[in-house]
Structure 1
Amino acid sequence: MAGTIDKITAIGYQRKMAHILTGEMEYECPIHGFASLGECTEKYGCDIDRDEFEVMASPIDVYDPAPSLMVPDELHLLEESVGSFDGHYETGVDTLQELVDAGQTKIIAPTATITAYEDQVYHLFLRPAERFPAPGPYLRENFYAQEQAESQRYYIGLIPHGKTHINSIIDILFYFHREVQDLMTTAMESPEDLLTGVALEGTDTSAPLNADSIDEVLQTLTLYSTSLTYLLSKKDGDRLDQSIVSQLNAYLRRDDRPPLASERMTGGTPFEKVQDILDLLDNPWQEDEDRGILQSLVDDDVLPPETQDAIMDLRDTLEASLDDATDVESDEFRVALRQADEDVREGLAWLLASRLNTITATSMISHGVDVERFNMMVFFGMPRQTAEYIQSSSRAGRSHPGLVFNVFHPIRERDLSHYHFFEKYHQFLDRLVEPVSVNRWAKNSVQRTHPGLFMSLLLNHYMYRDGSGKLFFGDSAEDFLAEVDDQELEDLITRMYGGDEVPEEFGHDAEELTNLSISQIQLDDQQWTSNRLPRGAMRSLRDVDEQLPIRSEYKYRDLLETLENQS
């Protein structure tokens, strides 16, 4: 199974979590799978009549029901309030498993931050931790891995002098993309000179390229045609996006070059759009997209309109020569390139360089974004934490050597310090990672997680004991609590929070909240048990604010009903 860590809060509002975590299953529905309490999990959609379910379903004997292994990826993200809340639910799940001898789930947690990992694991799981792989006797080497001599990523630190911070970043992007465009054009106009290194005279190297054909060179250039600018805030992104459109593209148009095609990726970008951007970066050879790029270049007077079809034909030959599944050889593209008109060759160079070629993004790209074309990255100042810097800079150069520019802010003291100690900082980068900030005993955290743990006892433990009834109904829970010893509930809640590890003040708060919840359920008359609690169970680990009810005003109600009837 795969899911987000937020799903752990479902133990506080979904009784079927006991199926997964503690094996509270009695039957197997022939249509919908495991079931309990004499009814199908899809009782409102199951074709089997409720009265006949126990006859039609197959009884089962559960063996070793607890999940054997949990892998919470990117463990360092479980920090601060999210980490505190998750820690309470993790030990709550452990207690539910212990109560029915379901076994204990083992945990393997990949993380980018191993500094003080024992402390973080304690606050999340109340378990001892083992680091793997353990450090070896030699620096940067252990039994499983060793550092290679090849550089995978080059870091360059810059600080502006005589110009603003944002203008310095615009200049870097301009010179980089101009150079990519020039190399693309050179590859089209003088492929042999580029392959032999003659076209590179005057640069740091004029040696022959390590490539057998010009289409291989073009493929490599496309991997470096997209720049990624890492933003520290959305406000910086607004300024930079505006400068790209109004300033950077003006520089390119002044030299009769195509403008950049930019996109923005932040936490507020819709998931569908993010997916479309990543798909386009992973597979840039999309015919409709390329035709649209050519049309925009014609509209910008960069290309003559009559060359579009010839450019697409040459582009198709290049794509086929790069595809191992076709019979088109590199020589065929070389011949087609030599026979093409100058405008067509230049047009193909502009096309390849004008695909989605600049991304501005916030920390949302730091995790789980593995794009082969992210090989040039610019930092809009120094990130606040070393772990964030490591994670985000590792987006560049994952498959091919990457180039990372860190443009420090000239008036921020912290940025100036990082600039002056740039080499030493990167030399000891892994040792300077800050420990994860998490405290499961935070004073007010118990108030937020208690309703979920209290409801999890009712829904995912007591409800599966004989004679308990359907405890999600308030009246059933009221009758049940009248029969249960309050001290038993207090002890179980304390056990879910950590048992003997719970500090005195924290435990006292948990006991008070337990007694208050019992009283509210017995005094209130609402239909659902969860609605009788002083505060609702968390729906996610980020559910920290009071819910705001949204209702239509009376004067709009008729309008909404009319629209609904029309649909």
Structure 2
Amino acid sequence: MCKRGHGFIPHNDKCDVKFASKLSCKETGSECNVDFDIGPTLIIQDEMHLIREGFGTIDSHFESLIETMKSEFSNGVNFKNIVMTATVTGAKTQIKHLYHKETRIFPPALESSDGNNFFFETLKEGNNTINQRQIIGLKQNAYSTMLLLVILRYVSEFIKKVEENLIKFAEDNDFSVDELSKVIPYYKNLLTYHNRKQDVHKMSYNILDLVNSYPSTYNLVPNNLTGDDNLDHIRETINNVTHFQDKEENNDKLSLVSATSIVSHGVDIDAWNIMAFEGMPRNTSEYIQALSRVGRKHFGIVFVLYDYMKIRDVSFYQNFTEYHEILDDKVETVPLARWTKLGFKQTFTSLFCAGVLNYMSDLLEKPIYTVEEFNRVFADDENRRLLINFIKRAYISNSDMLGADYFDETIEGEAIERIEYLANYSGSFMNYFPNALKDCSHNKYYKTQFGMRGIQDSIAFCPVNKDLKFRKNIGGK
């Protein structure tokens, strides 16, 4: 424990807390005997269905690394995991790959005494089920963004016309004026969903000319949400939508949020009741997630614009009714494979370094940072064996799952390669062995994992001689 109160320090290490003067504490500290488990015991994972494909593979290796370190440092105590997901389709397989654990799904499929689902209730009026959303499918024969803007213009015109002729509209449609006055504000927040960021930005560019320039419409106040936006912008947008109708200056305006799939995850408000999709989302689970943004509290209206140039969209349009009748059954299993060779290569150096910096340093009660200290420690065959066995436990290479045997057979060789590389290293990063590994020019997988960008090789395309001759013949350069 640091004597200056800066917290725990590894065995025989120094406190590295830095001050404003850029100086470090460097306090060696004193022994701190802890006779209870101080590590975390519970991991709560939200939106598990997003941990998929390459990202899921890499994450699964770090999940088991953290689990192994927890077990090593806490006398065999493991984490308990609670996960939330948009779909339980294939959840057991996904969790097996991600955490290598068995699964209990809640709520289970449990029937009550009357034969209905015990955990869910279907609202009815008489014998008719009450629908919370009306979904309307449209196949445009023109530019999709143009049709989407036309729909928004008609919605805006309709709301303005109703408010300007409130009494007449109420009488013609057998509503009370008070009831109608309460309902209209529910539909003044509009949401559009797009598969591409550029389509989101096109909305803002075209609103003035194709919607707001018409005197028969209320002006739309646009906001964009994409994966490029930070949390502050997302919070600000949520706040703007939630309180849009509270401001008197917005009485003759409509709020419009144009978003990519980011709106489907974590943006949980009940202010949206009109939504339009520009094209079909990439999978059914994402479609269901996005649909649930509207109609949460009041009846929702959803327009789905199918692109006539895309065969997939046309197929959904042609089977619109049948598809929506079996929507829940069409949810795809989340693709995740723990035991891929590329994933192993991508994460091995990170787990190798973690094993040295955390496990071996703790086991030997001394910091192992420099190349010199690394080589001194791993000149001992017993220390090599301890590190290799730790890495095997971190990868769970003794699993009976298909593909685990490759990991078990390969780990020792990969570890020895890196140990021997550092034994012969004489570069400029002697003070920190992970940087020395990164300095390797002949193997890109010696770098530690810092992110998901650039994890695969770029493929360069260039024209062949035949193409070059053709371009020259037609006057090209």
Bin for the TM-score computed over the shorter chain: 0.7 to 0.9
Verify: 1:184 aligned to 2:163, yes or no.
yes
Q: Which residue of 2 aligns with 1:352?
A: 251
Q: Which residue of 1 aligns with 2:189?
A: 226
Q: Once the two structures are superposed, what CA deviation does each residue of 1:358-400 show, in whole Å capped at 9, x if it has no partner?
A: 1211111110012332211000011120011011111112232
Q: Which residue of 1 aligns with 2:386?
A: 488
Verify: 1:438 aligned to 2:336, yes or no.
yes
Q: CA deviation at 1:207?
A: 3.0
Match of 2:81 among 89, 96, 107: 107
User: Is the Cα contact below 8 Å between 2:189 and 2:273 reproduced in 1?
Assistant: yes
Verify: 1:368 aligned to 2:266, yes or no.
yes
Q: CA deviation at 1:273?
A: 3.1
Q: CA deviation at 1:165?
A: 3.2
Q: Which residue of 1 aligns with 2:90?
A: 116
Q: Once the two structures are superposed, what CA deviation does each residue of 1:45-82 show, in whole Å capped at 9, x if it has no partner?
A: 4999755743xxx9351422342211110111110111
Match of 2:433 among 529, 532, 548: 529
Q: CA deviation at 1:466?
A: 3.7
Provide structure 1 residue ranges, at least 5 long, that are not aligned to the other structure.
Answer: 1-26, 188-192, 291-314, 316-347, 547-567
Distance (whole Å) between structure 2 residues aligned to residue 43 and residue 472 of structure 1: 17
Q: CA deviation at 1:209?
A: 5.7
Q: CA deviation at 1:542?
A: 5.3
Alignment of 1:294-333 (within 5 A): 315=248
User: Is the Cα contact below 8 Å between 1:222 and 1:353 reproduced in 2?
Assistant: no
User: Is the Cα contact below 8 Å between 1:166 and 1:240 reproduced in 2?
Assistant: yes
Deviates more, 1:41-50 or 1:121-130: 41-50
SS at match of 1:465: helix
Q: CA deviation at 1:258?
A: 4.6
Q: Cα gap change, 1:145/1:458 in structure 2, threshold over 3 Å: closer, same or farther?
A: same
SS at match of 2:378: helix
Equivalent AA in structure 1 for residue 436 of structure 2: R
User: Is the Cα contact below 8 Å between 2:398 and 2:408 reproduced in 1?
Assistant: no
User: Is the Cα contact below 8 Å between 2:162 and 2:169 reproduced in 1?
Assistant: no
Q: CA deviation at 1:513?
A: 1.8
Q: Which residue of 1 aligns with 2:17?
A: 43
Q: Which residue of 2 aligns with 1:262?
A: 222
Q: Which residue of 1 aligns with 2:117?
A: 142
Q: CA deviation at 1:539?
A: 2.4
Equivalent AA in structure 1 for residue 293 of structure 2: R
Deviates more, 1:31-40 or 1:223-232: 31-40
Equivalent AA in structure 1 for residue 407 of structure 2: F
Q: CA deviation at 1:497?
A: 1.1
User: Is the Cα contact below 8 Å between 2:15 and 2:25 reproduced in 1?
Assistant: no
> Relative to total residues, which structure has the larger helix share, 1 or 2?
1
Q: Which residue of 2 aligns with 1:88?
A: 61
Distance (whole Å) between structure 2 residues aligned to residue 399 and residue 375 of structure 1: 8
Q: Which residue of 2 aligns with 1:133?
A: 107
How many residues are aligned here?
A: 435
Q: CA deviation at 1:494?
A: 2.1
Equivalent AA in structure 2 for residue 430 of structure 1: D
Q: CA deviation at 1:109?
A: 0.7
Distance (whole Å) between structure 2 residues aligned to residue 140 and residue 96 of structure 1: 47
Alignment of 1:229-240 (within 5 A): 229-240=192-203
The structure showing larger relative contact order (alpha-carbon pairs under 8 Å, at least 6 residues apart) is 1
**CA RMSD of superposed structures (Å):** 3.0
Q: Once the two structures are superposed, what CA deviation does each residue of 1:323-375 show, in whole Å capped at 9, x if it has no partner?
A: xxxxxxxxxxxxxxxxxxxxxxxxx6xx31325x1121111111001233221
State the identity as a percent. 25
Q: Which residue of 1 aligns with 2:369?
A: 472
Q: Which residue of 1 aligns with 2:464?
A: none
User: Is the Cα contact below 8 Å between 1:494 and 1:510 reproduced in 2?
Assistant: yes
Verify: 1:511 aligned to 2:412, yes or no.
yes
User: Is the Cα contact below 8 Å between 1:66 and 1:104 reproduced in 2?
Assistant: no
Q: Which residue of 1 aligns with 2:233?
A: 273
TM-score, normalised on structure 1?
0.70
